[in-house]
Amino acid sequence: MGILGWIIFGLVIGALAKFVMPGRDGGGIIVTTLLGMVGALLGGFLGRALGLYREGEPAGFIGALVGALVVLFIYRAMTGRRRLA
């Protein structure tokens, strides 16, 4: 998948992650896309490393979504603390 494909995939995964875990985040669509791409890479890598699926399998979509949710949770935890301090 090329760079444009990763950006589009990241946008979709990031939007789904925000739909599943709604809340206020700064940064808008750019942060959503970046969090989605990082989550997709993280979830995809861990899923393949654990042998849950191979590259190109539909289960990778679920792994990417779970990865994006984890990244979104960490992002919110980090930015929430900074605002309180």
In order along its 85 residues, the chain shows pLDDT tens digits of 667 777 777 788 888 888 888 777 666 777 777 887 888 888 877 888 888 877 777 777 888 888 888 888 888 888 775 544 4
Is 85 among the domain residues? no
Is 73 among the domain residues? yes
- How many domains would you assign to the chain? 1
Is 16 among the domain residues? yes
The predicted structure's pLDDT at residue 81: 58
- Structural domain boundaries enclosing 22: 3-79
Is 44 among the domain residues? yes
The predicted structure's pLDDT at residue 85: 46
**HEC assignment per residue over the chain:** CCHHHHHHHHHHHHHHHHHHCCCCCCCHHHHHHHHHHHHHHHHHHHHHHCCCCCCCCCHHHHHHHHHHHHHHHHHHHHHHHHHHC
